[in-house]
Amino acid sequence: MKNTSILFTANTDLAAPILNDIEETDIQLLHQPLEQFRFEISEQGHRMINDYLDEVAFVIYGNLRNARYFVQWLQEYELSEHFRQYVHLAADQTTADFLEEHQMAAVMPKDNAQPIDLLEFVLRLSYGGMALYPTTDQKSEELPGFFNELEMPVLEFPVCKEVPLKEQKLQAFREAVYQAKPGAVLFHNRSSVIRLTTAFPGLDFQSLTCISGSPGVTKKLYEEGITADLEADGTWKSMLKLLLESKI
């Protein structure tokens, strides 16, 4: 591990929990965030939220990315003061800290909470009301699905969308990666498989140590003709544990 760098391409806000933890280790991470997003809220979405403001009891943030763009919306529409009356549930410490910086009292059921952890916490709350879930346009997330299965009111609110990486930035990433010559690559989710193989055609993945973020990622790698050497269980915590314990 100490003699090689590990290529990692997740969005910085999305991967904030593992990035912060890695700073406290000697893991050499070559972070080239191929996933890029921008703030975008439709007027229809804004009006929809206004219609349901009185029914919202709490806001749930699955990651820092969604929290960041939701807070931007609050600021642009001067709704920050109104939303301070709600309960704000954060999945990880980084997101909770960000909310606190913006005077939103954040509750974190457990560090690096999974969707099921957040759901269980909500079920223990002694009052009802609708959950507001800031999300990303055209991206499905697990927790709202849990709410729908249990017929619990949840309002998904797209606050950002993924945008293509500019060619100039992609070229800069390629030059950095080819020069660094990483010895391993961490595929954190299924979409990262195609993203990585497309962005870095000059990499010989068969000669690299390929780390899969989950069984689903391992399956996707297999479909693309790549063998996963190591496999985590789908959480940032498990990926970090794997990186710390493995000798690459």
| Residue 97 main-chain phi, psi, to 5 deg | -65, -40
CATH class in words for 38-163: alpha beta
Name the token pair of 68: 């960041």
Q: What is the pLDDT of residues 122-180, one digit of tens each?
A: 888 766 789 999 999 988 899 999 999 998 999 999 999 999 999 999 999 999 999 99
Q: What is the CA radius of gyration of the chain?
A: 19
What is the per-residue pLDDT for 112? 82
Give the full edge-to-edge strand order of the sheet including 36-39: 36-39, 154-163, 130-136, 56-61, 87-90, 106-107
In the chain, domain spans: 6-34+165-245, 38-163
Residue 2 pLDDT grade (very low, low, confident, very high; cuts 50, 70, 90): very low
Fold matches, 6-34+165-245 and 38-163: yes
CATH number for the segment(s) 6-34+165-245: 3.40.50.10090
The pTM is what?
0.89
Name the token pair of 197: 């193989």
Give the DSSP letter of residue 71. Answer: H
